Structure 1
Amino acid sequence: MNPGIFREYDIRGIAEKDITADEVMLLGRGIGTFLKAQGCTTLALGRDCRATSDLYAEKLTQGLLSTGCDVTDIGVCPTPLLYYAIKHLEHDGGVMVTASHNPKEYNGFKICRGLDSVHGKEIQEILGIINKGDFAKGDGKRSEQDVIPSYLEFVTGNIRLSRPLRVGVDAGNGTAGVVAVPILKQIGCEVHDIYCDMDGAFPNHEADPTVAKNMQNLIAMVREKELDIGIGYDGDGDRLGVVDEKGNIVFGDKLIIIFAREILSRKPGATFISEVKCSKVMYDDIEKHGGRAIMWRTGHSLIKDKMKTENAELAGEMSGHMFFADR
């Protein structure tokens, strides 16, 4: 198996080139062995809408089941729903089949032990298990669960708008539209959406809102329809890009400032985690408003770990990954 796909935060490469379907089943055996050794035997499994995701999810499931892990298939959904499913279903961990914001030819796997992302040396440990071929054995059970309805109920039950908003949404033909649009409508927003039909070929633009050219159609819609805000998502819906009412991109560090000020109004002295790509203005603003700002290494797994150890209220990156302690 190509060792180059075992990266810092996940396992990812070009589908059917860097990793084949048969190798995905082998990967499932490696992941299952790794997680089972740590007491994780009930796993949630989600996938994005890429062309190979259905096949890869099936092969991964076969590998996981062979190690004795029980697998609950939560279907095609955004990555945040995997985290929700692990907690909601009281599972021990999970795997998401996705290449996130990467181009259509890629695919990959994000692994969770509990709600913690498996990363770094642990990713390499899985590769070592595969290379040794010393896999756990068992006969796991397979089930299916649609968690989207309960997720929608959970999110909408926690949001109250002070006034109705006119919102533009660009899901980039990824999986975010299936939850973002109904959530916004249910909380009273007027929603104007583009590219919210799932298509793993990403025919309109790459599903990466951190690249300005991918936001141009959303910007045009916000300006043309005079909307209050525009929100763009990546392929698996775990990062976002924001456009203000004038069509200007609001970058990740500015979003953190907005969120931090609101949190500090309720929780004075709160701690916030971000990374080296964010501006000094952001760190200074948090300190100015009575917060504690910590600069940490880039990477969602690393940021989330630091958030936990520092008991932070919010962690965020320029890429649009945002993590709220109370959500």
Structure 2
Amino acid sequence: MSHQFDSTVLREYDIRGIIGETLGPDDARAIGRGFATLLRRAGGSKVAVGYDGRTSSPMLEHALVEGLTASGCDVVRIGMGATPMLYYAEASAEDVHGGIQITGSHNPANYNGFKMVFQGRPFFGADIATLGELAAAGDWDDGVGAVEERDVLDAYVERMLTALDGIDETALADLRIGWDAGNGAAGPALEALTARLPGEHHLLFTEVDGNFPNHHPDPTVEENLAELRALVAEKNLDFGVAFDGDGDRIGAIDGEGRVVWGDQLLMIYAEDLLPRMPDATIIADVKASRALFDHVERHGGKPMMWKTGHSLIKSKMKEIGSPLAGEMSGHVFFADTYYGFDDALYAGVRLIAAAARLGKSVTELRGAMPAMVNTPEMRFQVDEARKFAAIAEVEERLANSDSQVDGTDGVRVTTEDGWWLLRASNTQDVLVARAESESEQGLARLMEQIDEQLALSGLERGEQAGH
């Protein structure tokens, strides 16, 4: 017995494909067999399995469990829920050594995939490649695993509420917040959570529906926040919080309807955390605003710029013991009094806690941030074989210039006008560009530099590629 995966499915941070075309039950079974084999060889024996609200998820879950048990691992089925609930099930139970969530994240409804954690660390990159090698060789252990079901929702909600420990209840009693679950997997947990939070809560689209009838569940795209913005305006709420399809990425708007982007949320969380943990290193990805890095320094922390990708950031946090990290894409990781994984529901509670402790509303905190002019994340198609080479050429050309260049992940160049970034996506055949300045004129000059570098490598900022 061996199995061949479609070449597009095993990716850098997770496994993802199109149901019926590149991904199906046989793939799920092979993932289970490979994961269980690696876990047993590393001394583990029990895996938690959860799944999101997509119509194809139950079928994949069934096959995955078959694969895991056929290679001798016991399985704890936690049922449908948000990805962070699966992470919680793995992190909080001493008898569980790994976890797999079946989820298509924020991809279109016909996609699905797998996010994995292995003995408390993210399972990605070389680990995922190994699953492909084991499958191709049929190099799987055999065994008979047992299956049990465990309801973790109440314990998970209870654990998230600890974020409000020590905060005066009266400071929270008048809160009025809007929440948009986007018909994603976080809906049931959000209902249970808000029922126990102080204040008044208005919920949108908590009914799990894998066809996403109301809007696409990606809170980093502004048009997907339209209903939440309307709700906040109509009911005059303090702020609004939105989730992606599997609940590990947060989006937010303040009381005036302004988006609070991923790096701006991190500014709020950092300002709240640093008085308690002075000198802490706070990590953000290379797409984050300079305002964030300055803000962390100003409040006594050490800012660190790191590579984009939730698995890469989680690994770096663990390595250096950082209590807080985040990405522009809305992944936020808390490891001060939580487990270090990305959990948008918990991040929502931490936003409430931060505003209460700082004695300022989210609207005030957002209003105090410097007004930067920046581009959205620009993504354009570049041949897979060409994308990393092009970035290397840019780096080489700039090495001899007086530009200030950071090569952590692609090329981030700082000039008097601000900064610009060019990097190759790890998951698609695209280059990503972004720039930020304090003025429109400065931004235009930065864009000229990007275009000039692309032209020197025979490329241009052509058709925008989707996610």
TM range (shorter): over 0.9
| CA distance in structure 1 between the partners assigned to 2:245 and 2:81 by the alignment | 10
Q: Which residue of 2 aligns with 1:269?
A: 279
- Is the partner of 2:333 in helix, strand or coil? strand
Which residue identity does 1:145 align to in structure 2? R
| Matching residue of 2:323 | 313
Task: Give the Cα separation in 2 of the matches to 1:88 and 1:27.
Answer: 24
The reply to whether residue 105 of structure 1 matches residue 114 of structure 2 is no
1:169 touches 1:181 (CA, 8 Å); kept in 2? no
5+ long unaligned stretches in structure 1? none
Map of 1:63 onto structure 2: 67
Matches within 5 A, 1:157-306: 157-159=162-164, 160=167, 162-164=171-173, 165-306=175-316
**Superposed CA RMSD:** 1.1
Rounded Cα–Cα distance in structure 1 between residues aligned with 2:29 and 2:283: 36
Structure 1 residue 229, shift from structure 2 partner: 1.0
Q: Distance in 2 between matches of 1:195 and 1:187?
A: 19
- Tell me how far 1:21 sits from its aligned partner: 1.5
The letter for the 2-side match of 1:124 is A
C-alpha distance after superposition, 1:229-270 (max 9, x if no partner): 101001110001001001111001110000001111111111
1:88 Cα deviation after fit: 2.5
- Number of equivalent positions: 327
Q: Is the 8 A contact 1:252 1:317 kept in 2?
A: yes
Q: Deviations over 1:134-167 (max 9, x none)?
A: 1110000000001001112222244245223111
Q: Which residue of 2 aligns with 1:131?
A: 136
Provide the rounded CA distance (Å) in 2 between the counterparts of 1:34 and 1:2: 21
2:145 matched residue in structure 1: 140
- What does residue 75 of structure 1 align with? 79
Moved more, 85-94 or 208-217: 85-94
- Aligned amino acid, residue 44 of structure 2: C
Return the index of the structure with the highest Cα Rg. 2
1:197-254 deviation per Cα after TM superposition (whole angstroms, max 9, x unaligned): 0001111111110111111110111011100110100111000100100111100111
Distance 1:88 1:291 in 2: 29
CA distance in 2: counterparts of 1:85 and 1:27, whole angstroms: 20
In 2: Cα distance, 1:158 partner to 1:283 partner: 25
Question: What is the TM-score normalised by the length of structure 1?
Answer: 0.97
* Among candidates 25, 41, 51, match of residue 21 of structure 1: 25
Is 2:179 aligned against 1:155?
no
Q: Which has the higher contact order (CA 8 A, sep 6+)?
A: 1
Contact 1:181 1:191 in 2 (8 A): no
Segments of structure 2 that go 5 or more residues without pairing to the other structure are: 339-467
Amino acid at match of 2:21: K
Q: State the shift of 1:176 in Å.
A: 1.1
Provide the C-alpha distance between the structure 2 equivalents of 1:114 and 1:158, rounded to a whole number of angstroms. 25
Q: Following TM superposition, by how much is the alpha carbon of 1:321 offset from its aligned partner in structure 2, in angstroms?
A: 0.6
Q: 2:89 aligns with which of 85, 88, 92?
A: 85
1 CA distance for matches of 2:105 and 2:44? Answer: 24
* Per-residue deviation, residues 157-191 of structure 1 (Å, max 9, x unmatched): 44245223111111010111211232233121211
Cα distance in 2 between the residues matched to 1:169 and 1:224? 14
Q: Counterparts in 2 of 1:40-51, with a 5 A limit?
A: 40-51=44-55
> For residues 190 and 242 of structure 2, what CA distance do their matches in structure 1 show?
10
Kept in 1, the 8 Å contact 2:100–2:117? The answer is yes
Q: What is the CA deviation profile of residues 53-90 of structure 1, one whole-angstrom value per residue up to 9, with x for unaligned ones?
A: 00100000000000000000000011111111112322
Tell me how far 1:34 sits from its aligned partner. 2.1
The aligned amino acid for 2:191 is V
Q: Distance in 1 between matches of 2:325 and 2:75?
A: 30
1:40: how far off? 2.2
Separation in 2, partners of 1:300, 1:72: 24
Alignment identity in percent?
A: 43
| Distance in 1 of aligned mates of 2:108 and 2:198 | 34
Post-superposition Cα deviations, 1:264-320, rounded to whole Å, max 9, x if no partner, equal 111111110110110111001101111001100000000001111111110100111
Contact preservation (8 Å) 1:3, 1:127: no
CA distance in 1, matches of 2:162, 2:193: 10
Q: Which shifted more, 181-190 or 60-69?
A: 181-190
Does 1:39 find its partner at 2:49? no
Indicate if the aligned counterparts of 2:190 and 2:206 stay in contact, CA closer than 8 A: no
Secondary structure in structure 1 of the residue aligned to 2:202: strand
Given candidates 120, 128, 131, the residue that maps to 2:125 is 120
Could you tell me how far apart the structure 2 residues matched to 1:130 and 1:106 are? 22
1:28 Cα deviation after fit: 1.4
Task: Give the Cα separation in 1 of the matches to 2:199 and 2:127.
Answer: 42
Please identify, of 190-199 and 20-29, the stretch whose mean Cα deviation from structure 2 is larger. Answer: 20-29
SS in 2 for 1:5: coil
